[in-house]
Amino acid sequence: MTKLIKELENEGRISEDEAYKLYDLDLFTLAKFAHKKRSTLHGKKVYFNINRHINPTNICADTCKFCAFSAHRKNPNPYLMSHGEIMAVVDEAVGRGIKEVHIVSAHNKDTSWQWYLGIFKMIKQKYPHLHIKAMTAAEIDFLKRRWKLSYEESIERMIEYGVDSMPGGGAEIFDEEIRAKICKGKVSSQNWLKIHELWHSKGRQSNATMLFGHIENKAHRIDHMLRLRALQDKTGGFNAFIPLVWQKDNSFLPIKQQADSEEILKTIAISRLVLDNVPHIKAYWATMGINLALVAQEFGANDLDGTIEKESIQSAGGAKSAKGLALNTFIELIQTAGLVPVERDSLYNEIKICAS
């Protein structure tokens, strides 16, 4: 442990061997080092954006055991939005001042690349300045298998039709054995990383997630972070790391308890320390609740995602995020926590510091 503490005190890179020991440290030791790193990078700033999540369909060809969002016997409400319905949502949200639309879908066999590209084109033509964050690596992989379009061609089309950045979904846990148990058949970890590498090679940016608190263990989480760190060393294309707390309701995993607050905060702190080359750590309030996400800002996180407006994926699993948060509430909560709310764009350029 002495070597690990020395590495932390030196504020240099934590070696791979020592990284696997981080969960053995107590929460407050981790918090001390993670908060120091967070403060050096971002001071008291807490970043957020004004965004709208849209999940155009929940009909899915895949059967991830952790998932409560897709239409299945525990959540029998299949839907597929038409382009007109999607545009109506975008119109309304733009009227309220969103700067980003975040579009992620289930893997619906009745959708095609044309269907996806039509959405992006329609939005970009009407709102050229609205940032489109869309297409997880898992969706790209699904469409490749279904429509035989290479990753390279897929990415070129996304860029041509107006996708500005990629979200970090579909990463789950990279460990192949765990992956085979929770999401067999979905994009492999190797291909998830390959797709993001390709996206970065086009000068584009993306985020990376990790789904934790289900059947994985702590070493799997560290392995996940180290694989991301290695790719980030090569490309520098990840903006934010987003640890997602697995939600237990309506899933097919035989687990009764979700990760508790200590486990969540430790994971946030460790991600800040291991991912020394990823600028932002997001406490995604949709999976951990806004209060804990605010506390996480003292444990290494510096971002809360955004107002979201409507959330369907995590709320299907029991998260209290279905309705999003009003902007003034969001800002007040950050200020009450003694922190400085900073509205950012999707690529972390600062738009406005919200003074109290």
Q: Please report, as ranges, the residues that interact with ligand SF4 according to CB under 6 A.
A: 60, 62-64, 67, 69-70, 106-107, 138, 183, 186
**Beta carbon of residue 70, minimum distance to ligand SF4 (angstroms, whole number):** 4
Residues 107 and 62: beta-carbon distance below 8 Å? yes
**Beta carbon of residue 79, minimum distance to ligand SF4 (angstroms, whole number):** 12
**Beta carbon of residue 223, minimum distance to ligand SF4 (angstroms, whole number):** 21
**Beta carbon of residue 56, minimum distance to ligand SF4 (angstroms, whole number):** 12
Cβ nearer to ligand SF4, comparing 69 with 174:
69
Cβ nearer to ligand SF4, comparing 185 with 279:
185
Give the C-alpha separation, 120 to 276, whole Å. 33
- 3-state secondary structure (DSSP) of residue 337: coil
Cβ nearer to ligand SF4, comparing 101 with 106:
106
Strand ranges, E, within the chain: 45-49, 51-54, 100-103, 131-134, 206-212, 238-245, 280-281, 303-306, 340-344, 350-353
> What is the identity of the amino acid at 227?
R
Give the C-alpha separation, 112 to 126, whole Å. 22
| Dihedral class, residue 324 (left if φ above 0, else alpha if ψ from -120 to 50, else beta) | left
**Beta carbon of residue 294, minimum distance to ligand SF4 (angstroms, whole number):** 27
Cβ nearer to ligand SF4, comparing 61 with 292:
61
Cβ nearer to ligand SF4, comparing 70 with 205:
70
Give the C-alpha separation, 44 to 74, whole Å. 42
Give the C-alpha separation, 300 to 262, whole Å. 13
Give the C-alpha separation, 82 to 243, whole Å. 31
**Beta carbon of residue 67, minimum distance to ligand SF4 (angstroms, whole number):** 3
Give the C-alpha separation, 284 to 245, whole Å. 9
Cβ nearer to ligand SF4, comparing 104 with 193:
104
Cβ nearer to ligand SF4, comparing 19 with 71:
71
**Beta carbon of residue 141, minimum distance to ligand SF4 (angstroms, whole number):** 10
**Beta carbon of residue 255, minimum distance to ligand SF4 (angstroms, whole number):** 16
Backbone φ, ψ for residue 73 (5° rounding): -65, -25
> What is the identity of the amino acid at 318?
G
Neighbour count for residue 187 (Cβ, 10 Å): 26
**Beta carbon of residue 268, minimum distance to ligand SF4 (angstroms, whole number):** 22
Give the C-alpha separation, 223 to 300, whole Å. 19
Cβ nearer to ligand SF4, comparing 64 with 286:
64
Cβ nearer to ligand SF4, comparing 39 with 312:
312
Residues 292 and 256: beta-carbon distance below 8 Å? no
Placement of tokens 């905060």 in the chain? 265
Backbone φ, ψ for residue 282 (5° rounding): -100, 125
Placement of tokens 């995590």 in the chain? 314
